[in-house]
A and B are shown apart, each in its own frame.
Chain A
């Protein structure tokens, strides 16, 4: 079974600074998708960024970028120029390319310090 591990239950960052959230996963598949989702307090979960495993280039969305290391099965999220609105739970998730299920990690709670 696929597992997704987020080893940092809590992280904090100073406003305008950069923070990196870690995620590792376990799979025997070669074709899959990886995601970072953001869940603000009492608000809906939204997709931050996704990465296709067959793409070597790391995905980037404005201030959010990933470091995808396929051989190491590592998928970290970097948030640059952190803003107060970035404070939330961040979940890493995995999905086989030919499968149904999304597998989520346990989440990292990010605090942004003004």
Chain B
């Protein structure tokens, strides 16, 4: 079974530039998560999708971050414009279901973003 795919693996941009990350979850997984992991910290949830609907985006900085999951499969996370404090690893994870049940999250390799 193929795992969660993410691209690019690394990205370096200047502040105020835009950047987009892509995630392809495990086939059949309805729930998709985007996390931000700043160096020395644990992952922090940015947004959670159930199929193509948003379940939780309470910690997403909506003035600069956006995410979509068209057709309930792939997802993109965009930052526009980027700030220095956005430097982090962005993790995508998927699970069969997330709401009112436990299903294991499977994580992708992450995208390491450096904002100069």
Seen from chain A, the residues whose Cβ lies within 8 Å of a Cβ on chain B are: 4, 33, 43-47, 50, 52, 91, 93, 95, 97-98, 100-102, 104-107
Contacts and interface: CB of A to CB of B under 8 A. Distances in A.
Contacts of A102: 33, 43, 45, 105
A24 B96 CA distance: 28
Contacts of A100: 48, 55-56, 98-99
Interface string B75-104: 000000000000000010100001110101
A62 B105 CA distance: 20
A95 B102 contact: yes
Interface in B48-76: 48, 55-56
Interface of B: 3-4, 33, 40-45, 48, 55-56, 91, 93, 98-100, 102, 104-105, 107-110
A107 B90 CA distance: 16
A52 B41 CA distance: 25
A60 B86 CA distance: 38
B42 A47 contact: no
